[in-house]
């Protein structure tokens, strides 16, 4: 039995959001006793998972096709990273389309990052992390940070990222039968609502087309059976082009966000690898 709901024809934003709600329900529940507290980074709302600001932290961007999701919906997934790494996370409640379209989410991301810096947090102590559309936002926000002349974070982490809103990866076709979660129609509707009339090749919308010069070390995990597999590979290519340290790990026989499955042994390997990266890239500050 698949972890996620089966694919169905989508017509409206309500259809897309309803399907995402089913997907998020598959994340399970956050661990009992984990500290959760609402906060704002400047004007940007969100929540701390695993405690408040510390000597190292994760700034997390949830998935949901840029039209759905919230810190609450992704609390179980964020909690996995927090528990595995021992590093608290601020989960950003960025604005969603179609109510707020491109580049609202990117602006919210960099504003949250600026607010952390204004609190006196060292940029090198921050890891930007996210899943699906939030994984793409990690790189869009990093691009905005670099181009604004701000200090770059300690590292970037993306889980099954959606980083090419033109939907041009061959895995969109090759994996259309093996991906039990995502399909082209779903992502097309999400991109249309988010982009409006913006070119999908705009690097702030699709960081798979950006230059990663000056970026910090990167780790990307994805499943070999998901339609977003090539998005992960493209991010690795951009990092290699810029000479940025990068590890793109494509897990055999795994689907979209496989690490959300508590019964998957491969998920434990992925989480361990991600946790090691998060600790290592913020270790100098914490020492």
CB 89 within 8 A of CB 50: yes
Contact 71, 38 (CB under 8 A): no
For residues 162 and 229, give the distance between their C-alpha atoms in angstroms, rounded to a whole number.
9
- CB of 217 closer than 8 Å to CB of 155: yes
DSSP per position, 102-126 = TTHHHHHHHHHHHHHHHTT--GGGE
CA 151/CA 124 separation, integer angstroms: 8
Q: Are strands 155-159 and 57-61 parallel, antiparallel or unpaired?
A: unpaired
Mean pLDDT (whole number) for 245-262: 94
**Which residue spans within 27-125 are E strands per DSSP?**
36-41, 44-49, 57-61, 89-92
**Is 13-286 CATH 3.40.1370.10?**
no
Which residue, among 32, 33, 28, 5, has the nearest Cα to 76 in the 3D structure? 28
Q: Is 121 helix (H, G, I), strand (E, B) or coil?
A: coil
User: How does residue 222 score in pLDDT terms, banded at 50, 70 and 90?
Assistant: very high
Q: What percent of the chain has pLDDT over 90?
A: 86
Q: What is the value of pTM for the model shown?
A: 0.95
Distance CA 258, CA 109 (A): 25
Over residues 94-111, mean pLDDT: 98
pLDDT digits (tens, 9 = 90+) for 4-62: 444 455 578 999 999 999 999 999 888 888 899 999 999 999 999 998 777 899 999 99
H-helix or E-strand spanning residue 135: helix 133-147
Q: How far apart are CA 92 and CA 107, in angstroms?
A: 12
Q: Taking the CA of residue 59 as centre, how many other CA atoms within 13 Å lie in the half-sphere pointing to its CB?
A: 33
Is residue 156 within 8 A of residue 219, CB to CB? The reply is yes
Strand spans (E) along 78-224: 89-92, 126-131, 155-159, 218-223
Nearest to 77, CA basis, from 286, 285, 274, 277? 274
Q: Quick one: pLDDT at residue 261?
A: 87
Chain-centroid distance, C-alpha 149? 23
- Extract the tokens encoding 164: 């090419």
Band of pLDDT at residue 229, cut at 50, 70 and 90:
very high
* 157 strand-pairing partners: 129, 219
Q: Kindly report the average pLDDT of the chain as a whole number.
A: 93
Number of H helices, E strands in the chain: 9, 8
Give every CB contact of residue 9 below 8 A, 6+ residues apart in sequence. 185
Query: Closest Cα partner for 5 from 186, 163, 156, 249?
Result: 186
């Amino acid at each position: 039995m698949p972890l996620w709901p089966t694919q169905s024809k989508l017509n409206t934003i309500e259809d897309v959001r309803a399907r995402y709600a089913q997907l998020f329900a598959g994340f399970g529940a956050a661990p009992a006793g984990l500290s959760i507290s609402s906060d704002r980074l400047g004007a940007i709302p969100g929540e701390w998972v695993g405690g408040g600001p510390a000597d190292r932290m994760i700034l997390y961007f949830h998935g949901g096709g840029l039209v759905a999701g919230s810190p609450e919906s992704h609390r179980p997934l964020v909690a996995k990273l927090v528990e595995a790494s021992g590093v608290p996370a601020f989960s950003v409640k960025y604005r969603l389309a179609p109510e707020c379209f491109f580049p609202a989410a990117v602006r919210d991301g960099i504003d949250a990052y600026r607010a952390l810096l204004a609190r006196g947090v060292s940029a090198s102590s921050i890891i930007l992390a996210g899943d699906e559309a939030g994984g793409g936002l990690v790189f869009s926000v990093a691009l905005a940070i670099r181009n604004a002349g701000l200090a770059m974070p300690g590292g970037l982490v993306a889980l099954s990222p959606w980083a090419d809103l033109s939907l041009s990866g061959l895995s969109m076709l090759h994996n259309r039968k093996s991906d039990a979660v995502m399909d082209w129609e779903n992502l097309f509707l999400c991109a249309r609502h988010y982009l409006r009339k913006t070119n999908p090749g705009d690097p702030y919308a699709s960081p798979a087309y950006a230059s990663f010069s000056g970026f910090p070390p990167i780790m990307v995990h994805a499943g070999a059976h998901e339609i977003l597999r090539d998005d992960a590979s493209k991010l690795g290519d951009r990092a290699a082009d810029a000479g940025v340290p990068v590890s793109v790990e494509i897990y055999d026989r795994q689907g979209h966000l496989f690490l959300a499955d508590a019964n998957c042994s491969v998920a434990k390997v992925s989480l361990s690898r991600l946790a090691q990266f998060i600790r290592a890239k913020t270790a100098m500050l914490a020492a």
